[in-house]
Amino acid sequence: MAILLSAAIALLIGLDQLVKYWAVHSLEPKGSMRFIHIGDFRILDLTYLENDGAIFGSMSGQRWFLIGFTSLVLIGGIYLMFRFMKRSKVLTSAIALFVAGGIGNIIDRIRLGYVVDMFDIKLFKFAVFNVADIYVTVAFAMLIVYSIFIDPKIEKAKKAEAEMSLPAENGDVSDE
């Protein structure tokens, strides 16, 4: 399971880096291009952006802090992923997506000094983002679903199992 999980993370990171490579070499010279439109109604464009900050450009210029903080979070995430691997496939998948997204963006920060973003939603005003950001967002949604719907069931089952395995008090099983 650990090898399969590691391979999946490597594949996800590779996909993220491939799309970013394409953006740097094909999209940067153009700046922006139409992507998904219905007639004159713009839904999604591809726009090359170099983000040297965090979400919505916050913490701009804090490269080393962002690298250090992300590294610590990734170490914790990797530990938790392997620690709770057998607890739930949803939990493990969510953490794996989170780790893949974090590694994808930290590669850019270390290699380039910024993160390459390219997806520009035109339906409403939103940040320009990349594949790694999609992984992190989906992981966050999965963790919310897990914590609300799945984890309580796991805990309830564990509690019921623990109560069933308790020996009767003083060895007395009689009905008085």
Question: Which one is catalytic: 16, 108, 117, 120?
Answer: 117
Question: Which one is catalytic: 16, 108, 120, 133?
Answer: 133
Q: Name residues whose C-beta falls within 8 Å of residue 104's C-beta, 6 or more positions apart in sequence.
A: 12, 13, 16, 17, 20, 130, 131, 132, 135
- Quote the Cα angle for 158-163-164, to 5°: 100
Count Cβ atoms below 10 Å from residue 135 Cβ, excluding itself: 26
Any catalytic annotation for residue 151?
Answer: no
Grouping H, G, I as helix, E, B as strand and the rest as coil, residue 156 is helix
Total count of residues recorded for the chain:
176
Any catalytic annotation for residue 117?
Answer: yes
- Quote the Cα angle for 152-98-80, to 5°: 55
Active site residues: 117, 133
